[in-house]
């Protein structure tokens, strides 16, 4: 049999036929590759014998490798199947073969014969190409990357390189599979390669970057004990820093001791990490011991180590230990800088040690160090907190003379201090200075002055200040809300706040928040009647209708008044408006429903609360647990839940008793509930009087359940008319 040969072309058309220049010339003994379909030249002739069977691969576009090379001058680039991957900047940095492999993996999305067929188009995949594919961005997913890695390793005479191993570990760690990434040394050893320190460094870096310090510590110890790889001090420092940042101070101290036992000499950074961790825990004895070791083994601690330690202890509030470290710094001959002084002064002022802070302040001035605005502001705050407002004003004057401009927070502190000692005139002058400095007053700036004017009954200056806020285009109503919250929360001013509110309402200043603040504070002092009057006033108002907070406040009020029906009406109004009541409202309403024997409604409300609130009350959860235990029809199982509540410190109240009644009446018999109440009475969990009350409640609930069943049956058989006729005959 003879095969037709292709006609020879012109001389200038001859070129070297390689994989980069397209398909090879067909011959009788060499098939042609087109898009994954291997055909014979005779297959193009008609006839069923040589016609290929239809397959999905036959519909795919033919593969042309130059299309994946943007630098190819002879072939213009065609649009690849997924331009989002091939046209990205990261993809253009890859080699053409790497882009082809990635595209084959992404196109199929699942490892199988189609993927293997595409990969087999390349005669061989070298180790560097495997590493390049695994390092691509974005990398292939692990379900494709792992089979590809193993497929490449099964090539004849193939041995993976270390970059491929490392790229696979990075890929697994980024995909959230740290346990799989930790198998890197085992994988390397299974391929006959030695495990060395670079693998340890890589895994530690991956775990610490992903905030997995305990896994990094486990990896460090595993390499040392199982693979006999001695870690370097830089890797240990990285693990120490990750452990201390996550709060595992004890583990960091153990690792530090293990470093000394293994012959790893710590660096100054190692000691600095441990000292800072001890400062977070507030252990001055251990800190001084570690500083001594650092001085003897490595070098003397410098000002940066001491400053970092002081800053850490100040943030944690360990001022006594901080003072000891400061004294140790002086004995060590280390001169503190401006940052150390500023940190120490701020910490002492916040701790109420303003005298020591003032001494350090004078020491800064004598040494000629720069005293920044933070130091002045800290001293002002410390003096005002100690009741020495005059000294605070003096420090403010020194601050201005030094060329600094005070911020609004400093002025607010001084205004509050002056109002606290009854000098509202000077406080008002300070407020005028705030306006002269072109600072925008805040609610904190104005509230203290308004409280002083309201206390003294000076409503002229009160509304003069309010008019000034309106003139400055500030939200006067919001500022008045903050004032009223501050004024009404102080003891003995609740009723006076109501009078101030009436005056504000007459002047046209009114808000729903005003009502909510007054109702909340009136309920705290048991003035329910005045709170009810305000609530009725809100319902009759067109501008200040009740909102979610209002109803949540009024539900406990109605329950305490014994008006459960009105409390339920408030709850229904909230449900219509799709509002969620507060936890106190849920608790109060459930308790009130249990007291009047509305057990079904109470249990429904418990389920509604746990479904709407993210972290519901624990007694609600135990109530549902009791109901679930009643399914077993075993009183002992119910008692185990009750005993667990008592051991954890929760009170066994109306809801739990109602849950016992509800559960046994629904899933068992009333006899089980009586047995539980009897056991509770024997163990003094329930008093004898309450035993009688809940036994009567059980009987009433049983009658309701029975009546509901009878009515449901009559409705099912369509006998409601006979029920009414019988009742008329009776």
| Digit-coded pLDDT (tens) for 411-461 | 999 999 999 898 989 999 999 999 999 999 999 999 999 999 998 889 999
202 and 184 inside one domain: no
Task: Please report whether residue 511 resides in a domain.
Answer: no
Q: Lowest-pLDDT range, 310-314, 449-453, 622-626, 713-717?
A: 713-717
Under 8 Å CB-to-CB from 469, ≥6 apart: which residues? Answer: 441, 446, 476, 479
Looking at the predicted structure, is the pLDDT value of residue 164 above 50? yes
Number of Cα atoms under 13 Å in the Cβ half of residue 584: 13
Q: From 144, 167, 189, give the residue that closes a domain.
A: 189
Quote the pLDDT of residue 725.
45
Place of tokens 């033919």: 62
pLDDT reported for residue 29: 46
**DSSP-derived 3-state class of residue 665:** helix
* 175: pLDDT strictly greater than 50: yes
Q: Of the given ranges (6-10, 87-91, 430-434, 624-628), which has the lowest mean pLDDT? A: 6-10
pLDDT for 247 equals: 87
Average pLDDT score over the chain: 82
Q: How far apart are CA 211 and CA 216, in angstroms?
A: 9
Whether residues 152 and 32 fall in one domain: yes
pLDDT of residue 471: 92
- Provide, rounded to the nearest whole percent, the portion of the chain with pLDDT above 90: 39
Between 590 and 37, name the one with better pLDDT.
Answer: 590
Give me the domain span that covers residue 239: 197-265
458 plus 419 within the same structural domain: yes
In a domain, 693, yes or no: yes
* 334-369 per-position pLDDT tens digit: 888 888 899 899 999 988 899 999 999 998 888 888
Per-residue pLDDT at 590 exceeds 90 = yes
Candidate from 72-81, 211-220, 318-327 with smallest mean pLDDT:
72-81
For residue 113, name the pLDDT band (cuts at 50, 70, 90): confident
Rounded to whole angstroms, the Cα distance separating 63 from 80 reads 10
Q: What's the rounded Cα separation, in Å, for the pair 240 and 4?
A: 75
Per-residue confidence (pLDDT) for residue 313, from 0 to 100: 83
Domain boundary among 452, 472, 492: 472
Q: Are residues 19 and 168 both part of a single domain?
A: yes
Q: Is the domain of 243 the same as that of 118?
A: no
Provide the CA 513 distance to its chain's centre, in angstroms: 30
pLDDT at 92: 58
On whether residue 387 sits in a domain, the answer given is no
| Residues 169 and 205 reside in one and the same domain | no
| pLDDT at res. 709 | 63
The pLDDT > 70 percentage for the chain reads 84
Mean pLDDT of the 144-166 span: 87
Query: What pLDDT shows up at residue 427?
Result: 93
- Give the model confidence (pLDDT) of 134-152 as tens digits: 888 888 888 888 888 888 8
| Residue 8 confidence (pLDDT) | 47
Question: Does some domain include residue 491?
Answer: no
Is 295 inside any structural domain?
Answer: no
Split at pLDDT 50, 70, 90, the class of 238 is: very high
pLDDT interval class at 40 (50, 70, 90): very low
pLDDT for 157 equals 81
DSSP annotation string for 78-121:
PPPS-HHHHTSHHHHTS-HHHHHHHHHHHHH-S-SHHHHHHHTT
Query: Same domain, yes or no, for 33 and 179?
Result: yes
pLDDT attached to residue 460: 92
Check whether 519 has a pLDDT greater than 90.
Answer: yes
d(CA 520, CA 667): 42
Are 28 and 85 within one domain?
A: yes
Average of pLDDT values for 365-377? Answer: 89
Whether residue 68 lies inside any domain: the answer is yes
Region for 346 from its dihedrals, namely left if φ exceeds 0, alpha if ψ lies in -120 to 50, beta otherwise:
alpha
**pLDDT for the residue 190:** 87
- Is residue 169 in some structural domain? yes
Pair 148, 102 in one domain: yes
Coarse DSSP helix, strand, coil percentages of the chain, rounded to the nearest 5 percent: 70, 0, 30
Boundary-marking domain end, from 265, 285, 314: 265
pLDDT for 378? 92
CA distances from 513 to 164, 355, 484, 543, 549 (A): 64, 42, 9, 12, 9
Number of domains observed in the structure of the chain = 4
Across 629-658, b (16+ Cβ under 10 Å) vs e yields bbeeeebeebbebbeebeeeebebebbbbb
Are residues 23 and 166 located together in one domain of the fold? Answer: yes
Lowest-confidence pick of 74-83, 554-563, 706-715? 74-83
Which pLDDT does position 708 carry in this prediction? Answer: 65
Report which of residues 698 and 491 the model is more confident about: 698
Give the CB-side neighbour count of residue 654, counting CA atoms within 13 A.
18
Residues 642 and 702 in one domain: yes
For residues 222 and 149, state if they share a domain. no
**Inside any domain, residue 617:** no
Contact between 646 and 652 under an 8 Å Cβ cutoff? The reply is yes
Query: pLDDT at position 25, please?
Result: 52
């Amino acid at each position: 049999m003879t095969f037709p040969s292709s006609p020879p072309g012109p001389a200038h058309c001859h070129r070297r036929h390689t994989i980069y220049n397209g398909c090879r010339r067909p011959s009788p003994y060499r098939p042609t590759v087109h898009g994954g379909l291997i055909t014979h030249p005779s297959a193009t002739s008609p006839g069923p014998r040589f016609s290929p069977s239809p397959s999905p691969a036959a519909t795919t576009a033919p593969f042309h490798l130059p299309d994946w090379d943007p630098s190819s001058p002879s072939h213009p680039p065609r649009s690849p199947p997924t331009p989002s991957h091939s046209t990205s900047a990261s993809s253009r940095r890859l080699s053409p073969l790497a882009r082809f492999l990635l595209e084959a993996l992404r196109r199929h999305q699942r490892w199988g014969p189609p993927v293997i067929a595409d990969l087999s188009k390349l005669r061989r995949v070298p180790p560097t190409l495997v590493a390049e594919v695994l390092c691509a961005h974005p990398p292939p997913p692990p379900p494709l990357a792992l089979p590809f890695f193993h497929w490449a390793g099964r090539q004849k005479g193939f041995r993976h390189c270390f970059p491929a191993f490392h790229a696979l570990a990075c890929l697994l760690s980024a995909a959230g599979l740290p346990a799989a990434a930790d198998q890197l040394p085992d994988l390397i050893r299974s391929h006959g390669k030695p495990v060395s320190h670079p693998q340890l460094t890589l895994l530690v870096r991956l775990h610490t970057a992903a905030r997995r310090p305990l896994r990094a510590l486990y990896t460090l110890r595993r390499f040392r004990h199982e693979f006999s790889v001695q870690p370097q001090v830089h890797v240990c420092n990285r693990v120490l820093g990750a452990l201390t940042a996550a709060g595992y101070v004890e583990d960091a101290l153990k690792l530090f001791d293990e470093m000394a036992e293994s012959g790893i000499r710590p660096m100054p950074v190692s000691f600095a990490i441990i000292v800072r961790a001890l400062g977070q825990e507030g252990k001055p004895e251990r800190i001084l011991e570690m500083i001594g070791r650092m001085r003897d083994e490595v070098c003397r601690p410098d000002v940066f180590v001491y400053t970092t330690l002081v800053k850490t202890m100040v943030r944690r509030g360990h001022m006594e230990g901080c003072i000891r470290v400061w004294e140790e710094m002086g004995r060590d001959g280390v001169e503190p800088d401006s940052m150390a002084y500023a940190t120490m002064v701020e910490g002492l002022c916040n701790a109420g040690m303003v005298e020591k802070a003032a001494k350090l302040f004078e020491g800064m001035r004598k040494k000629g160090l720069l005293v920044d605005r933070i130091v002045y502001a800290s001293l002002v705050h410390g003096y005002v907190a100690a009741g020495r407002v005059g000294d605070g004003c003096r420090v403010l004057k020194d601050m201005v003379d030094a060329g600094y401009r005070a911020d609004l927070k400093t002025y607010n502190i001084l205004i509050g201090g002056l109002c606290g000692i009854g000098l509202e005139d000077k406080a008002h002058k300070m407020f005028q200075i705030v306006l002269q400095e072109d600072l925008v007053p805040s609610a904190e700036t104005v509230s203290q002055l308004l409280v002083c004017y309201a206390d003294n009954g000076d409503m002229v200056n009160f509304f003069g200040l309010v008019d000034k806020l309106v003139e400055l285009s500030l939200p006067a109503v919001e500022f008045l809300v903050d004032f009223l919250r501050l004024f009404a929360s102080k003891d003995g001013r609740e009723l006076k706040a109501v009078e101030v509110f009436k005056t504000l309402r007459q002047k046209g200043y009114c808000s729903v928040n005003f009502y909510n603040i007054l109702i909340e504070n009136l309920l705290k002092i048991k003035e329910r009647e005045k709170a009810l009057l305000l609530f009725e006033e809100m319902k009759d108002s067109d501008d200040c209708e009740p909102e979610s907070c209002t109803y949540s406040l009024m539900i406990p009020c109605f329950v305490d008044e014994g008006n459960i029906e009105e409390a339920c009406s408030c709850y229904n109004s909230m449900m219509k408006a799709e509002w969620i009541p507060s936890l106190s409202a849920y608790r109060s309403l459930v308790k009130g429903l249990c007291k009047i024997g509305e057990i079904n409604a109470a249990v429904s409300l418990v389920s509604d609360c746990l479904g709407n609130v993210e972290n519901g009350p624990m007694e609600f959860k135990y109530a549902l647990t009791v109901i679930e235990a009643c399914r077993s029809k075993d009183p002992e199982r119910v008692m185990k839940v009750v005993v667990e509540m008592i051991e954890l410190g929760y009170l066994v109240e109306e809801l739990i008793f109602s849950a016992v009644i509800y559960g046994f009446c629904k899933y068992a018999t009333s006899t089980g509930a009586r047995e539980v109440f009897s056991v509770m009475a024997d163990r003094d969990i329930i008093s004898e009087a309450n035993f009688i009350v809940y036994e009567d409640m059980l009987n009433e609930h049983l009658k309701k359940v029975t009546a509901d069943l009878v009515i449901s049956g009559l409705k099912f058989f369509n006998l409601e008319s006979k029920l009414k006729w019988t009742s008329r005959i009776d």
